[in-house]
Every structure is written in C-alpha cells, then in structure tokens.
Amino acid sequence: MDYTALRKLMVEEQLIPRGIRNQRVLDVFYKVERHKFIPEEQRDNAYADFPIPIGAGQTISQPYIVALMTECLDLSGGEKILEIGTGSGYQAAILAQLSKEVYSIERFELLAKKAKMLFDELGYKNIKLKIGDGTLGWGEEAMFDRIIITAASPEIPSPLIEQLKDGGKLILPLGEILSQVLTLFEKKDNKLYSHEICGCMFVPLVGKFGLLKND
C-alpha cells in the first residue's frame, strides 16, 4: 500500500477543505506515518476519515480532529505540553514535532507500552510517557504551556487548571458521554476564558477528576 500517497490525500481531502490552514501543522500531517500507530489488522483504514479501535476499548481520533486540536494549541516550537490520553501515541508524535517537549499520560499499561516502543523505534526523544491517572496531572513536571485532554469530561480536572501556566492554553472535549463540545481555554491573569470549537465524540476521561471514576 502506498502510505505516502494516502497521507497526501488525507491532508488534501480531509484537512485543507475543512479549514486547517497552519502550514506547520499541515507539513507534520504529511510527514508522520499514522499507519505505524494503528494495529496491523486495521492498517488499511489508517488514513480514513473516522476513528479506529486501538485496543483496550479505546480509539485513535479521526485525522481531522487531531489536526484541529493541534492547530488550536497554536504552537510555535518552544512549548512544554501535557497530553492526557496517550492512546496510540499519534497525537503525541504530532505535537512532539511542533513543540519542545511532550509529557503524555495513559491509564492503560498495554497502550502506554506499545506507544513507548514506537516512540523509541521512531526516534522521538522529546516525549516522556507515564502510566497513571492523567486527571491528577504531572505535578513533578508542571507548569505546562499547553494541555490537551483527548478524552471527554464535563469539566477540567482541577489539578490540570493548576498546572497550566498563565498565558497557556488547554483543549478538551467538554461534556457527557456521547455529547461533547471541543472547547479551547486560555488562562489569563489566572482566569480561564473559553471558546467553543465544534461538536465531537470522544471516549470518557476515567479517573479521580474525570467523567467516570472507574469503568
């Protein structure tokens, strides 16, 4: 299968027509080999316009949503980012190309170990990975310029608000199971200002300050 051609089509048919404009973001989507983050039996669909199961009942988001969240974070290259929900590792790999360092937390050991192996194999040295409850944040490494939560929650877990720098940005699917709005927050003078982006559907954030306490 010609994955390079499929990647080009993904950018040109899914991202650009829907309004992704940031050239640095588009360049990374041309480059990062999404199929490597997808289980082998699903690889034929690696560049398709829908989410794909990655094991442990979880999914990798559709390419457009990954691109939209990335573009909203408005990265210039020097940022320290916290990601909650490593999943396949694809979003972290995209962010790692556009920032200084990415700290990513995944609650499923199976997914975290697979992602870690891939980061090592592909040479990502600026991604640090931790297994655990991301709703608690990563206190030892705080503060963060950007925080991205890739699972749904009706509110921002309070430790993550505390770990976001002033002037920083945080994005998450805000809402309940099956009904969320992708929402971007900016912290200014220690107040949060929100901006709704679009409707979306993510798996729930599961943890002490999440949508579900346990699944």
Q: Using the Cα atoms of residue 73, residue 75, residue 19 and residue 9 in order, give the sign of their dihedral.
A: negative
The distance of closest approach from Cβ of residue 188 to ligand SAM in the complex, given in angstroms and rounded to an integer, is 27
The amino acid sitting at 26 is: L
Strands 52-55, 101-106: parallel, antiparallel or unpaired by DSSP? Answer: unpaired
Binding mask 26-55 for ligand SAM (x = CB under 6 A): ------------------------------
67 binds ligand SAM (CB under 6 A): no
Residue 180 near residue 174, CB atoms below 8 Å: yes
Count interface residues toward ligand SAM (CB under 6 A). 26
Residue 113 near residue 87, CB atoms below 8 Å: no
- Taking the least distance from each CB to ligand SAM, the nearer of 58 and 163 is 58
129 binds ligand SAM (CB under 6 A): no
The residues, any chain, with a CB within 8 Å of residue 160's CB and separated by 6 or more, are: 82, 84, 135, 137, 147, 149, 170, 209
The distance of closest approach from Cβ of residue 191 to ligand SAM in the complex, given in angstroms and rounded to an integer, is 25
Residue 171 near residue 185, CB atoms below 8 Å: yes
The distance of closest approach from Cβ of residue 189 to ligand SAM in the complex, given in angstroms and rounded to an integer, is 29
61 is catalytic: yes
CA distance 90 to 79: 18
203 binds ligand SAM (CB under 6 A): yes
Binding mask 92-121 for ligand SAM (x = CB under 6 A): -------------xxxx--x----------
- Taking the least distance from each CB to ligand SAM, the nearer of 86 and 145 is 86
- Go through 1-28 and write b for each residue having 16 or more CB atoms within 10 A of its CB, e for each that does not: eeeeeebeebbeebbeeeebeeeebbeb
Residue ranges binding ligand SAM (CB under 6 A): 58-61, 84-85, 87-88, 90-91, 105-108, 111, 133-135, 150-151, 202-203, 205-207, 210
